Amino acid sequence: MKEFNGKQIRQFVLEKVPTVTWILIVMMVYFSVSNSNFLTLDNAANLCRQGAILLILCLGVIVVKITGGIELSNGAVMSLCGMVMAWVMVNLNLPPFLAIIVSMIVGILFGTLNGVFVTFMGIPSFVATLGTQGIAVGLALGMNNGNVIGGLPEGFSAIGNGTLLNIPIPLWAIILVFVVTSVLLNKTPFGVYVYALGGNEEALKLSGKPAWLYKVLAYSYSGLTAGIAACILTSRNMAAQPTVGLGMEFEAFAGAVLGGSYIAGKGTALGGALGGIFILILRNGLNILGIPTYLQLAIFGTVLITAIVLSTLVERRVQKMRDEEREE
Amino acid sequence: MNKKNNHAEAEVTEEVQLIHEKPSIGKVLSRFSRLGALLILCIGISLLNQNFLKTTNLINVFRQAAPQIIISLGMTIVFLTGGIDLSLGSVVTLTSVVSGYVLTQTNLPWWCAIIAAVGAGALSGFVTGQLIAIIKLPPAVASYGMLWVGRGLAFAIMGASPFFSFPDTFRYLGRGYFLGIPMPIWIVAIIALILGWFLKYTTLGRSLYAIGANPHAARASGIKLSKTLVSAYILSGMLAAIGGIILAARLNAVDQDMGASFLLPAIASPVMGGTSMAGGQGGVAGTIIGSLIMLVVTNGMNLLGINSLWQQLVTGIVVVLSVWLDVIMRKRN
């Protein structure tokens, strides 16, 4: 009886809850003990506004990651989306809501480009998305000679800074993308195929289903999230800068990996969001502890790769336990 | 059991020999086709702009090519094992910052800076290799993580102020001439010769091909997989370090982003030179030709007056197309 209980607890701790949750709790306790400013409502609201971009990107990346791909282009694609949307608002006088649609379309286009590179051209996903990154950075820099586009219409700032029903609009965006991602992954054929792609792509192909279509769609979805994130980012800054998103792809990648391991066919929307929150809190905590910026990146990288290694080891242990159970 | 091992070993050596000593007509042709592509490209650009074929421009192209070629050679070694090292760009940054630190913040002689930089590159490669060989992370994930660790360390070492104005003896490596030929070109030539010999005639060099071509057969024949893998990443880290040193010596300053732009060309150059990303195929000569193609394209764009802001766009497209070509060639074989 006692052993059964132990097993149940172990299963709950290691399997039911994404591993990152436990690291998250430890980190939050550490930061709130070492600085009283951490666990305040102000800081939480601040985190929400800052974090919307990263969380939305993470939710896109996790879909690609479940299919077994790596997405490294979304930071650059986000910058490009911002540039294009600012350009159409300033030069074509498009109203903000049309500009938002333009940004999403650019995002989807580049996501689809990734998908085409990976499925039809057989290029490994990290090379394909690095290539797209180069293409997007080149376009974002070249389209306005490397300059920032400013002077956006006044009303546009509402997206990043306004509130709806007393809740910041970026938070609404997170909730919306989170719900859409969960529904897509859990309730639609798209989700079924995405998990199947990661689990056993060959089997899916042999079953005669259009595996390529769902793979392309997964990358398109990630592109769409980059387009949405670009709206919030551009609106918060009230300007579009061609290289603003560079480096973001690493945070999104790390969040997605932490939220559901790098192993293909695994991960959930919740995991992706938790991974994103982990990175936000780590960054915020380092700021609050007053660690100089030039040291932060080194700590950040080291913590992340340690966390990836740890979650990988836990994942492997869980797998072993499962195999043993099956043998019993 | 022993017989089985011997059999597997025979198989592997046969395979390795196939790669090294019996290039089929197709392979010879494809090698010359790359050289031909380079020549056609050069002729095309020189027709459009007469400055291209001037000795000063060509020497300039070669001198600029040096770090790129050396880093691409590092990537070639990793490609041979079937892996990829996305951290090479940031290793270039890290090692040049390390050498800058030793040169300007300490009183050590200039050769200590070189040793420190190469050591840092080797250490970074060692960690990446361990993550891949022992923890069994996919190479892309492990090296991408190390990209940011290396970048972060470079930031941390540099602090707030960049390092600049290095001693003349150190700058000689990037700007000096020996027998009328720039030092970077000598360094590339020496490294290419050593590496070519190493890959062809040493046990470790041949093991690199073997584990890329068929890891199971390689293991059966007694090659220690993890040891060989780790040494491949150490070697590529050291080569990236040498690239970083030449770059720092030429620019006479280091900054936080100097290595980042080397990653994409370092992936494209070996692939264009016939090194397969799947492993087990390729070599030094092809990579040098591949790097030169990349450099002639960028130099040509400069000479034709195309804004350098568009360069990343071209590099991105070239990377995707060259890898696509590799995929097609592999399918045909």
Per-domain residue ranges of chain B: 31-332
Q: Is B2 exposed, middle or buried (0-12, 13-18, 19+ CB in 10 A)?
A: exposed
- What does the H/E/C string look like for A254-305? HHHHHHHCCCCCCCCHHHHHHHHHHHHHHHHHHHHCCCCHHHHHHHHHHHHH
**Rounded-to-integer distance, Cα B309 and Cα B256, Å:** 19
pLDDT, position B23: 54
The percent of residues above 90 in pLDDT, for chain A, comes to 9
**Rounded-to-integer distance, Cα B102 and Cα B170, Å:** 11
- Mean pLDDT for A186-198 is 83
Residue A258 CA, distance from chain mean position: 11
Q: Is the pLDDT of residue A224 over 90?
A: yes
pLDDT, position B4: 44
Choosing among 1.50.10, 3.40.1710, 1.10.3470, 2.40.50, the CATH entry for B31-332 is 1.10.3470
Q: Is the pLDDT of residue A193 over 70?
A: yes
A263 touches B at CB < 8 Å:
no
Judged by DSSP in three states, A149 sits in: strand
Q: Is A159 exposed, middle or buried (0-12, 13-18, 19+ CB in 10 A)?
A: buried
pLDDT, position B127: 92
Q: Residues of A with CB below 8 A from B142's CB?
A: 305
Q: What does the pLDDT look like over B100-117, one tens digit per residue? A: 888 887 877 888 888 999
Q: Residues of B with CB below 8 A from A128's CB?
A: 320, 323
Partner residue facing B310 (CB), from A133, A138, A308: A138
Measured between alpha carbons, how far is residue B128 from residues A299, B88, B241, B260 in Å?
Answer: 17, 11, 15, 18
Q: Residues of B with CB below 8 A from A138's CB?
A: 309-316
**Rounded-to-integer distance, Cα A231 and Cα A63, Å:** 21
Domain ranges of chain A: 39-322
Cross-chain Cβ contact B310/A141 below 8 Å? yes
A147 touches B at CB < 8 Å:
no
Here the ipTM equals: 0.77
Cβ neighbours around A259 below 10 Å, total: 31
Q: Which residue has the higher pLDDT, A17 or B278?
A: B278
The nearest CA of chain B is from the CA of A70 a distance in Å of: 8
- Could you tell me if residue A210 is left (phi over 0), alpha (psi between -120 and 50 degrees) or otherwise beta? beta
Q: Which residue has the higher pLDDT, A303 or A177?
A: A177
Rounded (10°) CA dihedral B210, B213, B214, B218: 0
**Rounded-to-integer distance, Cα A173 and Cα A233, Å:** 12
- Mean pLDDT for A152-167 is 76
pLDDT, position B242: 92
pLDDT, position B13: 47
Cross-chain Cβ contact A142/B144 below 8 Å? no
Q: Which residue of A has its CA nearest to B143?
A: A305
To which residue do tokens 């997206």 refer? Answer: A159
B310 DSSP assignment: G
Cβ neighbours around A27 below 10 Å, total: 17
The H or E element containing residue A214 is helix A211-237
Q: Is the pLDDT of residue A17 over 80?
A: no
Partner residue facing A297 (CB), from B145, B152, B311: B152
- Mean pLDDT, chain A, as a whole number? 81
The nearest CA of chain B is from the CA of A155 a distance in Å of: 32
Spatial contact of A61 and A259, defined as CB atoms under 8 Å apart: no
Partner residue facing B135 (CB), from A131, A302, A312: A312
